[in-house]
Structure formats: C-alpha cells, structure tokens
Structure 1
Amino acid sequence: MRDSRLTRAASGLRDLLGRFPGTSWLIGGEEAEASHTLRQGMLGSLLIMVGSWGVGWLATTPGSVLVVNPLLLPLRTTTAGVVTCIVLLALGSLLLVRSWLRISQRLGGWGPHAVPVLRRALVMWGAPLLFTVPIFSRDVYSYIAQGRALHAGLNPYETGISELPGWFAEGADGLWAESPSPYGPLFLALARLIWFSSDDVPEAAVVLFRLLSLLGVVLMVVFIPRLAEGLGSDASWALWLCLLNPLSLLVFIAAAHNDALMIGLMVAGCWAMLTQRRWWGAGLLLGAVTIKPIALVVVPFAVLLLLSDTSSRRARLRQWLWIGVIAVLVLGVLGLSLRVGFGWIPAALGAGSAALPAAPVGLLGLGLGEAAAAVTAVDADTVAAVFFAVVRLFSGVVVAWLLLRPRLGNPVLWAGYGLAVVVVLSSVLQPWYLLWLLPLFAVVHVYRGRILVLVSLLITLLVVGVIVLQVSVAQWIDATTVQLIGVGVGLAYLVYLLFFDPNTAELFDISRRSERWNRSEGWARLRELSSPAVSWRRPQRHCEPGGRGGEDADGPAQSVGEGDR
C-alpha cells in the first residue's frame, strides 16, 4: 500500500515543498526534527479556531457579545461562511491528529529528552484553542445554567435546568434539560461563583470555565510524568498519550470540560498517596469526587498506594476505613454547605440512569423495555430503569471483586480496570469517557502493537465524527448538508492517513502483536486480566524524586507503531 501511486506522489510533493522557501518552515525537515510537526499542529489548531467561529456553540441571550458580532455574522449566517468553517474544522482536526501521530516518530524515541518537546507542543497546539467558540460539546453552557440554578435557590440534584426561564437560549443541550446534575458540590459551587462573576455574559463564563479546565491540564502536566516515573512507566509516553492527543485538547481546552480538573486532581492524589503524603492525597482524591462523583471508583484503589505490601486484606480494610471517615466528613460538610446533605451522591451517580443509544447497555436497555411493553402491560421506561439499575449493581460487584482479590495488582492499573468496567456498562457513553481511563493505564505501562493502534484509531474516529456532527448551524441553512460536507472532508483525509500517507500509514499496522513495558518487568505480551504472581508492593526505587530507577537498556525508545511482528 505504501508503494501506491498516491503515496509516491505525496512523498514527492513533500520533498518539493520542503525545498521551497515559502513552505519549508512548515513541511519537510529531518525526520528526527520535531519543529516542523510542532508548527503543523499549531496550524491545525488555528484552522479549528477559525472554523469554530462559524459553527461553534453560542448562547443567544441578550448578554452575549458574540452572537451578533459583525465579524462573525458572515461566518455564521451565510451558507458560504458555514461551509468554509466546517471544512476548516475537519481539516484542522485531522491535521492535529496527524501531528500527534508524527511527533511520536520525530522525537527520536521516548525518554527524558522528549518531555520538554511535548510540553512545548502542548502550549503551541493548545494556545489557539483558547480562542475557540465552544466546539465538540456544549456542556459548558449546562455548567453555567446549573450555577444559575443553584444561585436561584434550586437544588440541581432534584430539578433540571428547564426550571429556569430562558434556559434554552443560554445554550444548554435540551437532552439534559430535566436531568439531575451529575457534578459534585464543589464544582456546582464554582459554577455558581462563575455565573455570578460573569454578570450574565455567557462568553465571560466560558472563559472562566476554560481557565478552570486549564488548572486541571496543569495538574496533569505536572503529575502524570511524576506518577509514571514512580510506577515504572515512561513520562514522555504518558504525556503524549494522555494530553497531546487531539481528543484531550478539544475536550479539555476547546470544550472547557470539567473532566480535566477531575483527572488532574485524581492523578495528583495518586502521586501523593504513592509518595506517602496521605492527607494531601486524601484531599486531592476527594476533591476529584466533588468535581465528578465517578472518581469515587478510583479512591479505594488509590488509597492502597500507601501500603508497602497489599497482600493483607486487613491492611487494605484499615486504609478503606480511614479514607471512608475522611470522605464522610469532607463530603458531608460540602453537601451541607449547599443544603443537599449526602443526597447529592446518589443523585449525581444516578444522573446517568438515562440512556443514549450510542451506549451498548443503553441500547440494550431501551430495546428490552420496548420488547417488554409490546408483549405485556409493563411500561417500557420502568423495564429499562430496572435493567440499568441491575447493570450498575453488577459493575459495583466487579469493582468490589477486584478490590478484594487475594493478590491485588498495581492499584492504579486496577483502578483503570474497575473504572473501565463502570464506563463500558454505563447506559450513557460519551467520547470523553475514554480520557478518564488513559492516565490510569499510561502511568503504569508503555503499550505498543495492536492495542496502541486500536486506541489511536479510536481517538481519531471520535475526533473526526464528533467534531463535524456536533456543530451549531443557523435554522435557514441545511444542517444535514453541512455535516455531510464535513464528514466527507474528514473521511477523505482519514483514508489518506490510514492507507496512503507515507509517514502515518505504517502506524496503523494492525498485525503487530500487543505488548506492554514497565521498568521492573521489561517488555511482555499483553495478556488478559489475571491474578498476579504476588500482591502489589510499592516500588521504593521508582519513587525517588527525579530518579529513573533501574531502567532497562531496551526500554521504550520506540514510536507509536513499532513492535515485533
């Protein structure tokens, strides 16, 4: 496939443009030189930024300063402007995907030398996204509405934002209009403060939420490498997978999602527990829970990092009792401060009791409900609700089984297994849920081969699919046609990346076997989850500040697609 006529033409064009003074700064360069890829990624982000001005989500309230902005109106109200913006959005997204893949090849291998380059890439690629109109998701407007609801004296865990007059004009998705809030009390308190501080200007509130998300990104930049070093993975690889991928950039920065803050607090808490800073660790982990309660799944695993040896169930129980008491005190005080007590925990965790057909469990539950209603007098929604409750109970049993195994694996890795079970068995499945899982795996192992190809492909497909389908188009413009144009451009570029690009096609070779690497284990075939030979023990030599431990000579100095055939 790499010898095809299109591939040879692409290689020839690249060589030509690499010699031309007007384009050599962007195209070409030595293969071990990352500067060209850094600039290409920044160009992709700039294209996304401009594209978002025409098809991003805007509130239509009187306080909006952008909805009638004369500079944006031609992009948002004319067919030519909207089509141009959707094309820019699709091209920019795929160029960002390509840059993410290519930088793994141009770093000259993973290691300490790559970390500064990746941090520079994060700044260059992320900076233009700070100036986007919200894209990929419009949940940030739901944050604003829930902050407003709390300020108005409503309980967001009991009433939906549809109780607010004019809520739809504020930009929130109608899908969640009557759903209880899935967020923790600290985040709702911050949302109320942001809504009050923005003086009813939605763009100002978006900026403040984006800054809050950036705090989470900073926490990840600082603590993902430290946690990876402490647990024997590679800091640069973990940064590349968890933060440089376009899905993270779009969700954390462009969409201003609170997932960034939850994940940042979560990994910082795990690092604090690993380095025996138990009170800091408890505060950070419970802070993550008060942003999004799904982080509760990680807490009982992470607290076991305090133990030098996890073979004793009695020792595990002592840690769980300790964190349980702290959680009751901290979460209780926060709940009381919002006058919701502990009722926010089941309300927030149950906010996902709705169903999205994109989720396998959601689709199955809806199907069972309709089938039962067709042959009995039972209401379809009742059957679906019972089914979802049973599935949630089953996922809780699986998590408990992992925690109580006689030989417990690495607590962070097994937290990833537990959270993956909860996510996969949820009746609501959103693209950014993948981002919750990546750090829990990346800080423990470096992966290569088929498993990494599948993850890279999934990220690519999610970016292409969601960013061109979740767009805002004026009523008088045919939204379906605009979306089809975006999908067509995206798919054409995607096919080129997968099969014809002389540099990226080889990264999607599905025939390479799956392997994972850890400093204390070396490379090993990726096996199904099984009981480890011995229960996890804290690797003291990996916890030394700045230490590389005893890194194997044949460590992960390989790019994304490499591995034995």
Structure 2
Amino acid sequence: MRDNPISRAALRVREALGSFRGTAWLIGGAEGEISHTIRQGCLAAIMIMVGSWGVGWLAETPGSVLAWHPGLLPVRATTAGAILCTVALVVGALLLLRSWMRLAQRIGNWDGASVRTMYRALIAWGTPLLLTFPIFSRDVFSYLAQGRVLHAGLNPYEHGVSELPGWFAAGADGLWAESPSPYGPLFLMMARGVWFASFGVPEISIVLFRLLAVAGVVLMCLVIPRLATAFGSAPGWALWLCLLNPLSLIVFIPAAHNDGLMIGLMLAGAWYAVQRRRVVALLLLIAAIAIKPIALVVLPFMVLLSLKSTASYASRMREWVLAGVVAVVLLVGGGYALGVGLGWFTAALSAGSATFQAAPMGLLGLGIGHLAALLMPVSPTAIAEVVYACARAASAVVLAVLLLRPRLGNPVLWSAYGLTVVVLVSPVIQPWYVLWILPLYAVVHVYRGRVLVLVTLLITIMVLMSMVTHISVAQWISSVVVQGVAFAVAAVYLIYIVFFDPNTAKMFSLRQESQRWNAPRGWTSLRRLEQPSSSWSADDVYQRVAR
C-alpha cells in the first residue's frame, strides 16, 4: 500500500503535521499513539456535533426552542450553511470510523489495560455527541408522539400518531402516521412519562430520551467486559467492537434509539443468569422485551445460563416454563394495566410493515407477489405477506432446532445464531439491527480475518448511507445538491481509507482467513455451526467475575 503515490503523499503530509507544534497534538507520534487516536476521534465527534446543528432533525412546533433560534439560521436556513454542515458531518463520521480502526491497531494487546482505554475513548468520543441534534434517524420524535398518543388515552397499537393535531410538525416520520407502535409496553410508559415531564417541548424530550439511551450504554459498559471475561473472550476487544464503532455511537447517543436500553437490559439479564440469580435475570430479560419485543428471541437461550448443565431436557423445560409464566404474567398483565392489552405482541410481528421492504426477504416477497399477480388475479401485497409469514415460521423452526438439540452450545452464542437468522429473514433490515447481534458474538469469541473485514465494511456502508440520505434541510434548499455534495465527499474519503491510507487499507484486506479466538482454545478456523462434544454447563464458564 505504501508504494502508490497517494499513500506516499499521505505519509509525507502526516509526518509534516506530526512535527509541527500546532498539529502534533492531533497527529500520532510514537510516544503517545493511543492518546493521539483518542483525540482524533474526539475531533471527529465535535465535527459531527457542529454539522448536526445545521442538518440535524428538529421539530418545528411552536413550542420548539431551537428550530427558530436566530443563532442557527445562518447554518439551517442557507444553502451554504447546509452544505458546510453536511461536509462536517460526513467527514466527521469518516474520521470517527478511521479513529475506531486505528485504535484497534494501536492497542496491540487486548489485556486488562485495554478496557480502561476503551472507557477513555468512549467518554472522549461520546461527550460531544451528547450535544448533537438528532441525526441518522428521527425515531426519537416518533417515541414522543407515541407517548403523547398513550397520554391522550388512545392505544398506540391501534391508533397512529396522525390522530394527534400537529403531529407532522412535531417531527415524527410520516411512515408512522397510521402504523401501530413496534415498541413494548414498558417503553411506551416511559415515552408517556417523557411527554408529561417535557411539557411537550421537543428539545427537553430529546434530552430525556437520550438519557435513557445513555443508561443502556452504561449497562453495556458494565456488563460486556464481565461476560467477555466469563466466557473467555477479550473484554477490551468486545467493548471496541460493540460500543466504539461509529454506528453504535451515533445510534445510541445522537439518535437516542431505545435499542441501547434493550441491549443493555438483555446483556445484564445474561450476566445475572451466569451468576445463577434467576429472578433478577428473568426480570431484566422481560424488561428488555417490554422495551422492544425482538428480545423475546434470546429469552429461551439466556435463561439456560442459570442451569448447572443443559444436558437434561427436563431442566431446560423447567426453565422455559418458569420464564414463560413470569413473562406472560408481567407482559400481559402490564399491557392490560396500561390499557394497551396484547397489542404490543401483534404489532411486533408486523413491525416495519410501514417501511419499504428493502431487505433480501422483503424484495423476494415483493418479487413473488408481483410475479403471482401477473399469472393470476391476486394482490401482490397479500402474496408478499404470505411469503413473510412463511419466513417467520421457518425462523421459528430454526430457533426450535437450536434449543432442542441434544448437545447445546454456549447459550449466548447460540442466541446470536438464532437472532441472526431472525434478522436475515425479516422483510425489513434497519442499520441498527446489527447492533443487537454484535455483543452476543463478541462476548464469546474474538474474530479476525475476512469475517471482521465484512463487519467493518457493513458498519461503514450503513453509517455513510444514513449520513448521506438522512439529513434535514429547509424546504427552499435543494436536498439533491446537499446530498450530492455529501455523497461526493463520502466517496472520496471512503476510497482513500479503504484503498490508499497506508494504515487503514490493511484492515480491509480479504486475504486473511476468518478465525475466532477463545481463551481455552486459542485461534480456530471459523466454520459452520458444529455440534459441541458435550452440552453446555456452568463448568464451561472460563472465569467468574465478582459483581
């Protein structure tokens, strides 16, 4: 990579800036490489923050504090301001991506000290993102709108946000105008509380939802290293992959997605299950389901962590019956107490139906539907729904096969396999779905080679696509022009870090074989799911960590 002219020029520029006093603090030197990388990521986060002030999402209701603030008009109401902020946003996202990759390269040994380094980086990179306007997604406004629906005495699983006056100006995406809420009853109760506590002021509600998301991040910070240590993975590497990547940072903090809280509760439930504290583990796992029902997929796997051995079907069945009874009592009882009944469960099965089915299964269903419509008088949508129902049934069969195999593997890892299947057969795949799965793999194994390259590419593409397409500009500013500039900047920078950057280009090489590492076994080739030699038991916990 160093032989091409672009790489040589980049090295000369970097050496020159590294020797200049004014920029040496930012350009890495041998005496402080990790600290330089952390500062570069902090600069990237600041660029994202400033860029969001011009093209981030804001509600335009009369109660909004910032939407009509005169100090923001130069960057929000002019084409030049929108373009400059878009460039800052895109370059910041790519610089954050590069800092994330360079941090892994400079760590070297993923020992105990690397965990402290990850915490330092998370604080340095996450703090500026707390001050951003919503970017990447405007679901936070939908959260508020659905909390308002519940506060108004309506059922969010039966009534869309369009039944509220002024809903569109409040920032909610039109996709949810007449669609049922895909969230659990606990989160809807939280959303109603946010609506009440914020007095309907969008900026206050954003802060409150962001605090909920940060609570999930804190839970992950506490639990991921413990689980990784218990199962023989590398705690620092797991934190780097799951929390320091730009997709996680942007989804969990600026976008304030409730996925962070769901994942945090889900992993905390797994940790308490490893500690054999069944009641606490079960309550945490059910709370995760009550945030987003997709956590229901991992529940039957996680409760098995409390067993001394999973070799007995009777023991497995006992845990499943106990978990099922408690879940039904709490979720069904809570739903009726909240006045929403079982709507959360039926809505979860159709979650995403309001959006375009752009996932492979979604496109397949639409294709089969339109092909059937050419051959017979049927509705393409109806046929597509049949395809999606068959796909969900197939994923349920896969989950059953995993759970009922005579010799069960690590329940956390096998829940990752099951959840991966569920996501892949979903008619809609959103970028943040990958964040549900990453921790379940990372706390059991360290991965390298082609599999890690593909994950890095996936995160890169998802971040850039959302940064380019999900920007908010005033009606009189050409969104085509702004997005065109964003796409051009993203393309140039992306080509550089993938092909010409002498440091990051090697992280996109597909030459190395996919491998996974675990403390008891070392590096092994990444193969298809194999039948373990014995069913998982508590003795397979590599190292127990004090709470």
Q: TM-score, normalised by structure 2?
A: 0.98
The Cα shift of 1:482 comes to: 0.8
Q: How does 1:13-52 map to 2 (within 5 A)?
A: 13-30=13-30, 33-52=33-52
Q: Kindly provide the CA deviation profile for residues 264-283 of structure 1, in whole angstroms up to 9, marking residues without a partner as x.
A: 00000000001111111001
Alpha-carbon distance in structure 2 between the residues aligned to 1:418 and 1:454: 20
Q: Kindly provide the CA deviation profile for residues 430-476 of structure 1, in whole angstroms up to 9, marking residues without a partner as x.
A: 00000000000000000011100110111111111111211111111
2:158 paired residue number: 158
Is 1:137 matched up with 2:104? no
8 Å contact kept, 2:18–2:29 = yes
2:463 paired residue number: 463
Q: Kindly provide the CA deviation profile for residues 223-257 of structure 1, in whole angstroms up to 9, marking residues without a partner as x.
A: 00001111111100000000000000000001000
Is 1:491 matched up with 2:508? no
The Cα shift of 1:380 comes to: 1.8
Alpha-carbon distance in structure 1 between the residues aligned to 2:102 and 2:309: 41
Alpha-carbon distance in structure 1 between the residues aligned to 2:449 and 2:377: 51
Q: How does 1:466-485 map to 2 (within 5 A)?
A: 466-485=466-485
Alpha-carbon distance in structure 2 between the residues aligned to 1:295 and 1:259: 10
| Residues 245 and 31 of structure 1, relative CA distance in 2, 3 Å threshold | farther
Q: Kindly provide the CA deviation profile for residues 271-299 of structure 1, in whole angstroms up to 9, marking residues without a partner as x.
A: 00011111110011001000000000000
Alpha-carbon distance in structure 1 between the residues aligned to 2:258 and 2:16: 44
Moved more, 56-65 or 172-181: 172-181
Structure 1 residue ranges, 4+ long, deviating more than 4 angstroms after superposition: none
1:544 paired residue number: 544
Alpha-carbon distance in structure 1 between the residues aligned to 2:215 and 2:66: 25
Alpha-carbon distance in structure 1 between the residues aligned to 2:88 and 2:541: 49
8 Å contact kept, 1:269–1:284 = yes
Secondary structure of 2:57's partner? coil
Alpha-carbon distance in structure 2 between the residues aligned to 1:413 and 1:354: 31
1:266 paired residue number: 266
8 Å contact kept, 1:269–1:283 = yes
Secondary structure of 2:516's partner? strand
Is 1:314 matched up with 2:332? no
8 Å contact kept, 1:355–1:363 = no
The Cα shift of 1:13 comes to: 1.0
| Residues 419 and 123 of structure 1, relative CA distance in 2, 3 Å threshold | same
1:252 paired residue number: 252
Secondary structure of 1:426's partner? coil
The Cα shift of 1:545 comes to: 2.0
8 Å contact kept, 1:233–1:445 = yes
8 Å contact kept, 2:423–2:433 = yes
Alpha-carbon distance in structure 2 between the residues aligned to 1:93 and 1:541: 38
1:382 paired residue number: 382
AA at the equivalent of 1:459 = I
1:429 paired residue number: 429
Alpha-carbon distance in structure 2 between the residues aligned to 1:10 and 1:61: 47
AA at the equivalent of 1:160 = G
Q: How does 1:376-415 map to 2 (within 5 A)?
A: 376-415=376-415
Alpha-carbon distance in structure 1 between the residues aligned to 2:310 and 2:2: 50
AA at the equivalent of 2:323 = I
Secondary structure of 2:181's partner? coil
Is 1:92 matched up with 2:97? no
Q: Kindly provide the CA deviation profile for residues 360-389 of structure 1, in whole angstroms up to 9, marking residues without a partner as x.
A: 111111222222223322122211122211
Moved more, 466-475 or 120-129: 466-475
2:448 paired residue number: 448
| Residues 31 and 345 of structure 1, relative CA distance in 2, 3 Å threshold | farther
Secondary structure of 2:350's partner? helix
2:438 paired residue number: 438
Moved more, 204-213 or 382-391: 382-391
1:556 paired residue number: none
The Cα shift of 1:165 comes to: 1.5
Secondary structure of 1:520's partner? coil
2:128 paired residue number: 128
8 Å contact kept, 1:355–1:362 = no
8 Å contact kept, 2:232–2:543 = no
Alpha-carbon distance in structure 1 between the residues aligned to 2:35 and 2:131: 23
8 Å contact kept, 1:182–1:347 = yes
8 Å contact kept, 1:275–1:543 = no
8 Å contact kept, 1:332–1:342 = yes
| Residues 211 and 155 of structure 1, relative CA distance in 2, 3 Å threshold | same
The Cα shift of 1:196 comes to: 1.0
AA at the equivalent of 1:169 = A
2:201 paired residue number: 201
1:525 paired residue number: 525
AA at the equivalent of 2:492 = A
Secondary structure of 1:447's partner? strand
AA at the equivalent of 1:432 = W
8 Å contact kept, 1:157–1:181 = yes
AA at the equivalent of 1:512 = Q
Is 1:512 matched up with 2:512? yes
Is 1:74 matched up with 2:63? no
| Residues 111 and 172 of structure 1, relative CA distance in 2, 3 Å threshold | same
2:12 paired residue number: 12
2:168 paired residue number: 168
Alpha-carbon distance in structure 2 between the residues aligned to 1:87 and 1:544: 47
Unaligned stretches of 5+ in structure 1? 548-565
8 Å contact kept, 2:136–2:466 = yes
Secondary structure of 2:130's partner? helix
8 Å contact kept, 2:231–2:444 = yes
8 Å contact kept, 1:274–1:543 = no
8 Å contact kept, 1:37–1:99 = yes
AA at the equivalent of 2:33 = E
Alpha-carbon distance in structure 2 between the residues aligned to 1:139 and 1:534: 44
Is 1:364 matched up with 2:358? no
Moved more, 92-101 or 487-496: 487-496
AA at the equivalent of 1:9 = A
Alpha-carbon distance in structure 2 between the residues aligned to 1:452 and 1:3: 25
Q: How does 1:91-110 map to 2 (within 5 A)?
A: 91-110=91-110
Alpha-carbon distance in structure 1 between the residues aligned to 2:347 and 2:95: 41
The Cα shift of 1:48 comes to: 0.4
AA at the equivalent of 1:343 = G
Q: TM-score, normalised by structure 1?
A: 0.95
Report the count of equivalent residues: 547
| Residues 355 and 31 of structure 1, relative CA distance in 2, 3 Å threshold | farther
1:289 paired residue number: 289
Alpha-carbon distance in structure 1 between the residues aligned to 2:425 and 2:73: 43
Moved more, 137-146 or 7-16: 7-16
Alpha-carbon distance in structure 2 between the residues aligned to 1:437 and 1:322: 25
The Cα shift of 1:546 comes to: 5.6
Secondary structure of 1:131's partner? coil
8 Å contact kept, 1:352–1:426 = no
8 Å contact kept, 2:301–2:414 = yes
8 Å contact kept, 1:354–1:428 = no
AA at the equivalent of 1:544 = R
AA at the equivalent of 2:27 = I
2:179 paired residue number: 179
8 Å contact kept, 2:110–2:234 = yes
Alpha-carbon distance in structure 1 between the residues aligned to 2:31 and 2:390: 53
Alpha-carbon distance in structure 1 between the residues aligned to 2:36 and 2:10: 17
Over aligned residue pairs, what C-alpha RMSD do you find? Answer: 1.3
1:300 paired residue number: 300
AA at the equivalent of 1:193 = G
Q: Kindly provide the CA deviation profile for residues 516-560 of structure 1, in whole angstroms up to 9, marking residues without a partner as x.
A: 01112211000011222221122466342269xxxxxxxxxxxxx
Alpha-carbon distance in structure 2 between the residues aligned to 1:546 and 1:96: 34
